[in-house]
Structures are given as structure tokens and as C-alpha cells.
Amino acid sequence: MNIILLGPPGAGKGTQAQRLVERHGMRQLSTGDMLRAAVKAGTPTGLEAKAVMERGELVSDAIVSALIGDELDAMGADTGAIFDGYPRTEAQARSLDEILAARGRKLDHVIELGVDEDALVERITGRYTCATCGKGYHDTFEQPKVPGTCDKCGGTEFKRRPDDNAETVRTRMAEYRAKTAPILPFYEAQGIVSKVDGMAEMDAVTDALESILAN
């Protein structure tokens, strides 16, 4: 089973990918992580990528394809892949199909964790944490039992992350749409796109993913 998991920041994609890794022994293939690992390990592809980056250039599609190929070759044939952050363009999507086909694999599902943008803004901008112990709270969903006092440590100072604001969330959503817009039609034409409600409870999202994978 090889899948692409899509979802904007805040949709819980990282958590869901981690669960698939734990439950099904799948491997999450993030191009950024693969690149860093290959450079560190000094593989031929890693050395090539390092030279490109040292010249201040972007790593080409050919290098990324080679990285993915290396990674798939190193995985057991029964180990499924979760692609994360790749492909971003239709050319990369076609290339991924070829990389997989050359190894007797295919892409089974492209799953998008959908979000309601306004609800996502509320979810993210309402977050805050105890400045002392780091316990997380939310303006709407999880206030301390005694207002202004941390349930866990009794602290009275709280903090918010500066990028947990509506403008940043909406900018990230726009960036996400721009990144996925080029590839979704390509996969929709193959009939392998499924959408899951990323705003649902985490366990319900996991159940929805599992039922897609079971088909």
C-alpha cells in the first residue's frame, strides 16, 4: 500500500501519518527528511544534492526522484510508503508513478484531510499554553478549571505562539491550496482521491483513514 497524505497545517496530518506508521509498519517518506539523511550518510545521491545546495541552487526533480528510489529500494517490498510533501507538480506526480512502477508498486490512495477554514482559524488561534509547565489549553475547547490558573502546576502565566493568528493560518491555507491544486486533478482523473474530514476527532479521522486503506 502506497499513499499520499495531504492536509493543511493544523489538520492533524502528522499525527495520522504517525499512527499509520505504528499500526501498519508503513514508512513516511518526507523529501526534506530524506534529503537531510542522504546528505548526512554521504550516499551518491546525497553528495550530489549537497553540491547543488552548496551552490545555492534548488535540488532538482531528478535528485528527489533518485532519493525516493533509493529509499524504496531500501524498504522491504511489503512495506507501504506514505508520501509527505511530494509531489508538488504534475511532472513530479508522473515521475512518482514511474518510480513506483519500476519497483512493482503503485499509488493506491491520495487522501486529503479536509478542513473548514474558519473552524481551523478558531482551532489554531484559540490555542495557548501554560508558561511554566507547557500544558496546552484552548479558549473555546479547554479552559483551566480555575480561570487563570494552570490545572497541572498552578502557574498563572500563559503564552501564545505568535504565528497562531488568523492571518498566518489563512496564508498557510492559501499556500496549501496553491501547492495541491496542480496535483489533485491528476489523481482525481485516476480515481484514487479520497477526502476525510480533518476537523473530526482524531480517532474518528484515524477510523476513516483505516476504512479507506481497507478498500
Annotated binding site for Zn(2+): 130, 133, 150, 153
Active site residue 105: no
At residue 129, what are phi and psi to the nearest 5 degrees? -135, 160
Q: Is the Cβ of residue 133 or residue 178 nearer to Zn ion in the bound state?
A: 133
Separation CA 97–CA 72 (nearest Å): 13
> Under the criterion CB under 5 A, does residue 150 sit at the interface with Zn ion?
yes
Contacts to Zn ion from residues 102-131, by CB under 5 A: 130
Convert residues 129-148 into a mask of x (bound to Zn ion by CB under 5 A) and - (unbound). -x-xx-x-------------
User: What's the closest the beta carbon of residue 164 comes to Zn ion, in angstroms?
Assistant: 18
> Under the criterion CB under 5 A, does residue 85 sit at the interface with Zn ion?
no
Catalytic residue among 105, 127, 135, 170: 127
Q: Is the peptide bond before 87 cis (omega within 30 degrees of 0)?
A: yes
Catalytic residue among 13, 19, 27, 123: 13
Structure letter (DSSP) for residue 142: B
- 169-170-173-175 Cα dihedral, nearest 10 degrees: -100
Active site residue 135: no
Secondary structure class of 161 (helix, strand, coil):
coil
Say how many C-beta atoms besides its own lie within 10 A of residue 196's C-beta.
22
Active site residue 177: no
Binding residues: 10-15, 31, 36, 57-59, 85-88, 92, 127, 130, 133, 150, 153, 161, 172, 200
| Alpha helix segments (H runs only) across 25-156 | 31-41, 44-54, 61-74, 90-101, 117-125
Q: How many CA atoms lie within 13 A of 57 on its CB side?
A: 10
User: Active-site residue numbers?
Assistant: 13, 88, 127, 161, 172
Which chain residues interact with Zn ion by CB under 5 A?
130, 132-133, 135, 150, 152-153, 155
